[in-house]
Every structure is written in C-alpha cells, then in structure tokens.
Amino acid sequence: MEGLPPNLTAFFVGRLAGHARVTGLTGRLVRTFRVEFFGEWSIGEDALYLDQSAHFDNGKTVHRHWAVQFEGDRLAGHDSKGEGRVQGRIVSNRVRLIFYRPIGVAAEVAPNRLVLEFREDNDGYLIMDGRAVFLGLTVRRTLGRLSRE
C-alpha cells in the first residue's frame, strides 16, 4: 500500500455495495444494477484481491475476482478467468480504473473498454462515475453511489 495517499488506502478494502444506473448517448436510462465489492490486501504481496458482483435489472448477474498490484500511483491487474485486465492510476483524491475486455467475451455487442473513477464524497460514500468507450467514443455513462456495509 506504499505510495497510496492515506485517504485512498481503504477505498476498496472491506465490503462496499450500492446502486448504479447506466445511460446511453442521449441520456436515456439503459439499465440499473446493484454492485458489490469485497476487497482485502494480501500480506507480503502488496496486492489487492477484489471480488465484484453486479446484479442487473434484467436478472443477469456477473461475478469477477480481480488481483490488483500497486506501484506508486499506478496499478495493474487481471481477473481470475483471464477474460479482462485492469490498469489504473491514483489522481489527487480519486482512483481511475480502465477495464479492458477482449472482444468476443460477452455474448452481446459491448464496448471493450470501461473507464471508472471512484472518489469519496463529503458524506463518506464512494461515488462511481464511468463511461464505456467503443472505438474511442463514449457510448454509455455509469453513475453509482456505494457505501460500506
């Protein structure tokens, strides 16, 4: 955890949960979902192991397990299935994560790059602000609010 600003060291440690909404290019609601994270630091490896679950309004549920390592203000990792990777950077009071997914992993046509920024608001909630990028264009926006459980 060396190199992380003190207020960010606990961002993903423990259990976080909340609701999010996804909008399209025009701002129209596309879907909603409940997201849950559970993170813990590995002693001696300086790695964050993060379990992620997303429960969508259409009944679909996605589970991922991420292993993320930090080096200074940068981070990199992958999911346990080898289907995705994440890179990120700690900038000021937020964490910016970029998730990459190989084309063809999802059954539906979906962007292969998702940029999420996490920051803590004044009330102690973690704000998730994201955009799905396809061919360099933002095609969807995600906004969520998570709390510690």
CATH of 6-148, one of 2.40.128.20, 3.40.50.2300, 2.60.120.1060, 2.60.40.1180: 2.40.128.20
Encoded amino acid at 3, one letter:
G
> Positive or negative, the Cα torsion across 120, 44, 89, 103?
negative
CA proximity to 53, closest of 40, 65, 42: 65
DSSP E strand boundaries for 1-73: 14-23, 29-42, 47-56, 61-71
Per-residue pLDDT tens over the stretch 55-112? 999 999 989 898 888 777 788 888 888 778 888 888 777 888 888 875 444 544 445 6
CA proximity to 149, closest of 17, 12, 11, 13: 17
* pTM above threshold 0.75: yes
